[in-house]
Amino acid sequence: MPVLLEHLPVQDEFYHCEDSPIAFIGGLATGKTMVATDKILTSLAKYPKAPHYIFSNTYDQLKSGTLHTFFERLNDVWLPKYPQFQYIDRVRYDKTIMFPKLNTLIRVRSVDQDINWKSLEIAVCWLDESQFWGKESYDKVIGRLRGTALQRQVYPDMKLQIFITANPPHSHSHWLYEQTHEPDPISSKIPIKLFTATTYDNPFLPDKYIQTMEESYDPDIARAELMGEFLDLGRGQVFRRFNREKHCIDDKEAMKRGLPRLRYDPQLPLCWSHDFNLDPLCSILFQWRRINAPGYQKVVMFIHDCIRIESALISDAPKELLNRKEATSIAMRNEIILYGDAAGNQQSRQTGVSDWAALRAEMARLGFKGTTRINPGNPLHIDSSADANRQLEDSQGNLGVVIVKNKNTIWLALDLEKMMWKPGTTIFDIAKPKPGEVIPNSKKLTHLGDCLRYGISYEAAIEERFRFSMNTSR
């Protein structure tokens, strides 16, 4: 059956390549899922008696991502040209997509249930969102790529094939990077043939989409998610976009940059983000403000103060807030919006109440009113740090955080400079002080940086960039 499909150059190379395994790893909107749909449907039409599989990392991803694009492409392009591809979606019932007129089907599976793969016999499979896969799951698929007796009898010349689609992983230790870049020590060949593309290679994307994506990532993440580059971000400084000269400023510098005076806006609520480690007990005071200044994002986080109390109780934080007269005045007039550690909802064995409950109780006793905005659970460190870096600076170089330079915010600057990734993990670590350098011990760092992450990951997470539930224009 002749298949007449339109592809961009790299898509077409990937579509026609018969090598195995191959991978199309590129930026957003490069048509990876679309061309993989074309590839598996073409193979299905040619070899209907061979077992074809689509894999993704979870069933939620299969339904909302991979198969959403698959069915969209099938309905919009394939069915108008080839009515024989009429299908029955049985994914919910038995994890198959039936094609009655072709007398064949495609099976779908997810990595989070790879324990059920022992009986699979695969001839052709498409692995989507493979940046989220572990090497063990990939190896399991490779081990099941053996076809069937019927397939070998009916199609003796058929080549078994695995093709992969993914966004670039953000670590060089990821198996996708190793398999597409590092030669096998025995054969001296690269195990997986790689095809790459950038978001900018797609001429059909509107300028507004490109701009939105550029605003949604920091410069490093944009190189991966838009340019399709393999980066190694899970090492070194966690807050890699933080720069004291850019982010820590006084009134004089604010005036030069076209920013408003570095005072609390009396028309906006006070924002207060908490980490509940008790030595020291840390929190930051800030406001989200809409501004119009060159080199800045539309909504900027203005951090005015940090509260840092040694050997504290949770109830000490509201008492300390009373010592900030301007902040207290704003809070009493406009209320407080609380952000912070979701783990603070867990009941304390010592007190019988949660940290959040203790904080709210003391606030109420002192006359403060607050609205709590915390995620159901804390996001992964790798995700919340990406959110924070994008807020610090987007890929167009626009800043989204202003730290008012004073004796209290210097502690936050130290945290942002000293928080490091523990090598080989997605866990935060602390850089050791240089000889003669006087800084707090490692136990007393990181908590203010955590406070920054909590506020940003609720209001301005990358995947929910435009939610901003708070009305910052009033």
Q: What is the pLDDT of residue 114?
A: 67
Check residue 278 and report its DSSP letter: S
Structural contact between residues 388 and 428, judged by C-beta atoms closer than 8 angstroms = no
Cβ–Cβ under 8 Å, residues 164 and 127: yes
Structure tokens at 301: 């986080």
Q: Which tokens belong to 302? A: 């203005």
Give the chain's length.
474
Instruction: Report the C-alpha gap between 240 and 238 in whole angstroms.
Output: 6
Q: Which pLDDT does position 474 carry in this prediction?
A: 27
Are residues 393 and 219 in contact, defined by beta-carbon separation less than 8 angstroms? yes
Residue 95 has what pLDDT? 93
For residues 413 and 190, give the distance between their C-alpha atoms in angstroms, rounded to a whole number. Answer: 43
Considering only the top CATH level, what class is 9-225? alpha beta
Collapse the DSSP code of 201 into the 3-class scheme (helix H, G, I; strand E, B; otherwise coil) and give the result. helix
* Residue carrying structure tokens 């993989």: 36
Question: Are the beta carbons of 285 and 264 closer than 8 angstroms?
Answer: no
Architecture of the domain spanning 244-464: 2-Layer Sandwich (3.30)
Which tokens belong to 215? Answer: 């605003």
Asked if residue 313 lies in contact with residue 246, where contact means CB atoms within 8 angstroms, the answer is: no
Distance CA 222, CA 269 (A): 32
Return the closest-CA partner of residue 263 out of 304, 321, 322: 304
Cβ proximity of 393 and 246 under 8 Å: yes
Residue 167 CB contacts under 8 Å (≥ 6 apart), including other chains:
25, 26, 27, 28, 129, 131, 224, 225, 228
DSSP state of 391: H
- Which strands form 104-110's sheet, in the order they lie side by side? 88-90, 96-99, 104-110, 52-56, 124-127, 161-166, 22-25, 193-195
| CA–CA separation, 142 and 160 (whole Å) | 11
Minimal CA–CA distance to 65: which of 142, 126, 137, 134?
Answer: 126
Give the span between the Cα atoms of 408 and 284, in whole angstroms: 10
User: What DSSP assignment string belongs to 35-59?
Assistant: HHHHHHHHHHHH-TTS-EEEEES-H
Per-residue confidence in pLDDT tens, the chain, 474 aa: 545 578 999 999 999 999 999 999 999 889 999 999 999 999 999 999 999 999 998 888 888 889 999 999 999 999 999 999 999 999 999 999 999 999 999 999 988 776 667 788 999 999 999 988 889 999 999 999 999 999 999 999 999 999 999 999 888 888 999 999 999 888 899 999 999 999 999 888 888 888 888 888 888 888 888 899 888 876 778 999 999 999 999 999 999 999 999 999 999 999 999 998 888 899 999 999 999 999 999 999 999 999 999 888 999 999 999 999 999 999 999 989 999 999 888 866 455 689 999 999 999 999 999 899 998 888 888 889 989 999 999 999 999 999 999 999 999 999 999 888 877 677 777 655 566 665 554 445 668 999 999 999 999 887 643 333 333 332
Q: Which residue has the tokens 């590092």?
A: 182
Q: Is 282 helix (H, G, I), strand (E, B) or coil?
A: strand
Residue 285 backbone phi and psi in degrees, to 5: -110, 125
**Torsion sign over Cα 58, 63, 69, 71:** positive
Residue 472's pLDDT is what? 35
What residue ranges do the domains of the chain occupy? 9-225, 244-464
Q: At what angle do helices 447-459 and 381-392 cross, to 10 degrees?
A: 80
Query: How many of the other CB atoms lie within 10 Å of CB of 361?
Result: 14
**Helix (H, G, I), strand (E, B), or coil: what is residue 178?**
helix
Q: Which helix (H) or strand (E) holds 223?
A: helix 219-225
Amino acid 86: pLDDT: 96
Chain centroid, CA 129 distance in Å: 13
Question: In the structure encoding, which two tokens stand for residue 305, read together?
Answer: 């103060």
The CA distance from 258 to 292, in Å, is: 8
Which residues is 290 bridged to in the sheet?
A: 299
- Count of CB atoms situated within 10 Å of the CB of 423: 11
